[in-house]
Structure 1
């Protein structure tokens, strides 16, 4: 037991900052839900109007939870639970991969295996570590609901549901680490599965059966293919069903057992999925470091572009439907226009969807700069910088490719908007709104590019953690701030919330100038500081 306790303690010391950021961010989102709903939707009729609008066209709020009545606490769960669960899932996924395939890839696991700890203890320590993190997260989420005056059973149920979704993805992350040869491949596999299951749950709810009073939705069979759907069907603060929690726990046990079984049949450093053999000689186009950076970033950029294409298509294809529903249900019109500047409802819909496209562009940018940190931590940056390539040039190329990823992602969203607008009554107007929004969100996404690059130069070991945290905080403030009733001054701290957009027939530049100033200062500071920074290995 002593090697296990020592390893768990070492993991907790190593991860205390990252876990604190994940847990505090998730709990803060739950806490903000209470104050926001009480202020913006304090009356039952207000909540009933929103639910009626969702039932009329569930696709509008596809990424919400499962409607389970007009009770204030149940309404908060409807608005926020999927995002509490996805934060728990991401925390667990990255933790599992970092301490299994990540340590193995870096050579640390081989050293630990040579001690009395043996080969199995580090994996068991990861399991204990991740379970403790999710238990603490679940307790704190439940405590937040209790502190807000919510019913006891519902509070503990929503906290438990959040924790068990995290456990499912802890097991999935451990399994992916056995399947894939690199931590990058394992993380990519788990994140794609996470996104697919998240969307499946939303789609299953969207095509479900509404109740006669338009306050509840019965999920379709599609929802039951996703752990997010299982957790949502606990219906906290309504009927309080505990048995779906057992489905998540069962999946956790199966995935964890599979991970241990696969570890027992493979050699250290190998993987179940064989690594694809490379070419005997490189292409002529890969003779420069810029081409290398582009090659490393291409697969992830394509993934973000596909998501942006679908987002753009929804932004214009739903415009006419939302306009009709907004006239019949003023509540949904208030929600959408609160997320955008003063303009007609169709413009507001496009702005909201392009805010999501801006989020995808920011993710593409952060992932590109994070790749520079991964190259440094894995030791593959050192051979490149041992050549005449200067450090400033090396970072400049990552920033340049990151900016290209932003432009391509926003362009894909605009292309999707053009496809969705085919046959629309006001296609030209919708495309004009989409074009201005795409340009504005590209500027907003660039802020995250340069800020992540700045973190990379001053605190390289925090690059990935801080970069993604900035994106999560900004999207919560920018996209959910108005829904949660947060002060406008706080919501406007998010670059997504102050990006230029079309207001009627004119362009409202909003926060363009301070966004450009931030980009200029951040880029200059990161490149200047990079000149004197030493390489920082993994630690």
Structure 2
């Protein structure tokens, strides 16, 4: 027991700030959701109208939860539960990989395994640590909902359901770590599992059966293939079903038990899935730092670009649908007006979806710079920089590829928007809004790129946690700020929320020039400071 306590203390010291950010962010999102719903959908008629629109056009359910009635609590869960569970899922997978495969790569696991703790006790401790982190997240969500006056039993179920989904993905991360060779591969496998199951739950809801009054939806069987679907089917503040919570906990602990069993038969540093053999000779592209960075990051960039394309398709194919909803629901129209200024509701819909694509592009930027930090921490950057490659040139390679990735994601979104118009006989005039909004999101994502690069130069150990925290905060402010009636100045803290707008026939540049100045200044400063920066090992 003393050994577990010591290992838990070590994990708490390393993860305290990150867990607080993830769990605290979930609690704040739940608290803000009530204020937003109360101010924007205060009447039952507004909530009924929006639910009817969602059930009549099921594709909207891809990004929302499971409709379970018009009560304020149930309506809040419908709007934000998938996102609360998504925060729990990402927190859990990153935590699991960091303390398993990540510790192996850093050499910590071998040192701990040489003590009486052995090889399996650290993984057991990680399971306990992950469960406690999700319990904290669940408690903060429940506490936020109770604090605004909602029913305690429904609030507790909503919080516990989100935490239980996190426990499932804790098991996913623990299982991915021994299967693949590196922490990067384990994180990639875990993240793609999260994203695929997130979409799977939304698809299952869209294929479900609506009630006669269009306020509830019975999930299809597809939803039950996803942990997000299990959490949504608890129906907090409505039926209050605890069965799916037990299912989440059972599956999560079963996956964790398998991971513990695998640890007892696996050599440290090895993996059950072998790596693909490389070619005998490298391509000429690898003779240049930019080519090497491209080789290391191209798979991730392709994945984000595919996501951008799909969201782009939705942006224009749903524009007419949302315009019809806004015409009958003043609350929806008001939210879209806040996003799109004086433009049409269809333009507001495009702007909203391209704000999401901007988040994807920001993720590409942060992920690429974080890859530089991982190369440095793992010791693979040192032999490269010992060759005739200046460290400024090395960092510039990551910035160049990240900018290429940003452009590729936004460009894929623009192509997707064009495909949505062509495939659905949509309004071709929306392409002007698509292009202008897309260009603005390139500028916004570039700000995340240079800020993360500055972090990498001046505070390298904060690169990964702080970089992803910036994206999370920007996403909440940019995507949920207008919906939750945040003050305008607070929403505009997010770069993705101050990009140019198309107001009818006019274009409001808003904060474009500030974004461009910040990008130029950040890029210049990061490259200049990199000249004198020493390599920083893992910490």
TM-score range (shorter-chain normalised) is over 0.9
1:290-335 Cα offsets, whole Å, 9 max, x none, are: 1101111101000000001111111122233333444344444334
State the distance in 2 between where 1:450 and 1:81 align. 32
2:164 corresponds to: 164
1:23-73 Cα offsets, whole Å, 9 max, x none, are: 111111111112222222222222222212212213235211111111112
Q: Confirm whether residue 212 of structure 1 aligns to residue 221 of structure 2.
A: no
Report the CA distance between 1:426 and its aligned residue: 5.5
Q: Please, which runs of 5 or more residues in structure 1 have no aligned partner? A: none
State the distance in 2 between where 1:87 and 1:182 align. 23
1:21-36 matched pairs, under 5 angstroms: 21-36=21-36
1:355 corresponds to: 355
1:64-463 matched pairs, under 5 angstroms: 64-422=64-422, 427-463=427-463
State the distance in 1 between where 2:41 and 2:328 align. 19
**What secondary structure, in the 3-state scheme, does the structure 2 residue paired with 1:502 have?**
strand
**What secondary structure, in the 3-state scheme, does the structure 2 residue paired with 1:339 have?**
helix
**What secondary structure, in the 3-state scheme, does the structure 2 residue paired with 1:482 have?**
coil
State the distance in 2 between where 1:457 and 1:449 align. 12
1:504 corresponds to: 504
1:340-387 Cα offsets, whole Å, 9 max, x none, are: 222112212211111111111111111000000000000001111112
Name whichever of 360-369 and 207-216 sits farther off: 207-216
> TM-score with structure 1 length normalisation?
0.97
State the distance in 2 between where 1:461 and 1:190 align. 23
1:258-303 Cα offsets, whole Å, 9 max, x none, are: 2122222322111111111222221122111111011111010000
| CA spacing shift, 1:423–1:159, aligned 2, 3 Å | closer
State the distance in 2 between where 1:426 and 1:215 align. 28
State the distance in 2 between where 1:510 and 1:233 align. 42
**What secondary structure, in the 3-state scheme, does the structure 1 residue paired with 2:341 have?**
coil
1:151-174 Cα offsets, whole Å, 9 max, x none, are: 111011111101111100111100
Report the CA distance between 1:3 and its aligned residue: 2.0
Report the CA distance between 1:109 and its aligned residue: 0.6
Contact 2:68 2:78 in 1 (8 A): yes
State the distance in 1 between where 2:166 and 2:360 align. 23
Report the CA distance between 1:423 and its aligned residue: 5.4
**What secondary structure, in the 3-state scheme, does the structure 1 residue paired with 2:493 have?**
coil
**What secondary structure, in the 3-state scheme, does the structure 2 residue paired with 1:428 have?**
coil
State the distance in 1 between where 2:492 and 2:61 align. 22
Name whichever of 295-304 and 273-282 sits farther off: 273-282
Q: Confirm whether residue 6 of structure 1 aligns to residue 6 of structure 2.
A: yes
Report the CA distance between 1:222 and its aligned residue: 1.1
Report the CA distance between 1:427 and its aligned residue: 4.3
State the distance in 2 between where 1:261 and 1:118 align. 13
Contact 1:53 1:332 in 2 (8 A): no
Name whichever of 192-201 and 128-137 sits farther off: 128-137
State the distance in 1 between where 2:131 and 2:424 align. 50
State the distance in 2 between where 1:328 and 1:4 align. 58
State the distance in 1 between where 2:309 and 2:210 align. 29
| CA spacing shift, 1:424–1:430, aligned 2, 3 Å | farther
| CA spacing shift, 1:507–1:300, aligned 2, 3 Å | same
| CA spacing shift, 1:424–1:122, aligned 2, 3 Å | closer
Contact 1:451 1:522 in 2 (8 A): yes
Contact 1:53 1:329 in 2 (8 A): no
| CA spacing shift, 1:196–1:423, aligned 2, 3 Å | closer
Contact 2:316 2:426 in 1 (8 A): no
Contact 1:65 1:82 in 2 (8 A): yes
Report the CA distance between 1:425 and its aligned residue: 5.0
| CA spacing shift, 1:53–1:123, aligned 2, 3 Å | same
| CA spacing shift, 1:335–1:213, aligned 2, 3 Å | farther
Contact 1:337 1:343 in 2 (8 A): yes
Q: Please, which runs of 5 or more residues in structure 2 have no aligned partner? A: none
| CA spacing shift, 1:161–1:426, aligned 2, 3 Å | closer
Contact 2:26 2:140 in 1 (8 A): no
Report the CA distance between 1:196 and its aligned residue: 0.6
State the distance in 1 between where 2:256 and 2:16 align. 24
Name whichever of 276-285 and 175-184 sits farther off: 276-285
Contact 2:474 2:496 in 1 (8 A): yes
**What secondary structure, in the 3-state scheme, does the structure 1 residue paired with 2:486 have?**
coil
State the distance in 2 between where 1:423 and 1:112 align. 58
State the distance in 2 between where 1:521 and 1:161 align. 44
State the distance in 2 between where 1:425 and 1:291 align. 41
**Cα RMSD (Å) of the superposition?**
1.4
Q: Confirm whether residue 479 of structure 1 aligns to residue 479 of structure 2.
A: yes
| CA spacing shift, 1:220–1:338, aligned 2, 3 Å | farther
Contact 2:340 2:502 in 1 (8 A): no
Report the CA distance between 1:487 and its aligned residue: 1.1
Number of residue equivalences = 539
